[in-house]
Amino acid sequence: MATGTGYPVTNQWTNADGLNVSFYKEGWPLEAVRATPEEATKFAIMDIDLTKIAAGLTSYPRDLTNAGTTTGFSDEDFYFPVGSSILRVVAVTKVPLAGGTSFTLGTYKQDGTIVSANSLITATEGVTANFSAVGARVYGAGAYTAATAGTAGPGSTSGVNEYVALTTTGTFTAGTLRVFIEYLNGITEV
């Protein structure tokens, strides 16, 4: 079997059984981190009732200004760590949507500043007609979900952890979704 030229290894010898033995070389350029699939691949599951989000508003969970209006997120809310990579986003209908036109699912900074309101699910996928029956599903096609080389992920442009929220177009009189997000843990979390 042909081999290439590798990184120099010190403290290498053949033991009494004829096996090559070596110690790890400090500064080796490839550092493997042992992780189980459960540690490396993460899942977020969110139930979202669109009737509780007014037309044109975003589903922020926290009132950061104590003004009686939700405006952002806290450390207790779900977020993607900087450097995460989104593998798949699937929205499944629990209660068929009615009334509204569409929704987007995107990412935001903790203070509520928009990073990309449609980075996970765009208005094209989020159109009401796509969620007309229980179990109907849509795969997100936002910018963070692209399966092409060089696709940016959460924190790549914002430099911070990114939180998830939904923005509606129109007033939903019915509609509940379960959103499944599969992602690789952020590089700051390894």
Tens-place pLDDT, residues 68-112: 888 888 888 899 999 889 999 999 999 999 999 999 999 999 999
Q: Which domains does the chain have, with CATH numbers?
A: 36-184 (2.60.120)
Question: What gap in Å lies between CA 46 and CA 172, rounded to an integer?
Answer: 18
Token pair in block for residue 54? 């007014």
Q: What are the phi and psi torsion angles at 118 (to 5°)?
A: -130, 30
Total residues belonging to the chain: 190
What is the spatial distance between Cα 58 and Cα 33, in angstroms, rounded to a whole number? 38
Name the pTM for this structure: 0.78
Band (32; pLDDT cuts 50, 70, 90): low
Q: What does the DSSP 8-state code read for residue 173?
A: S
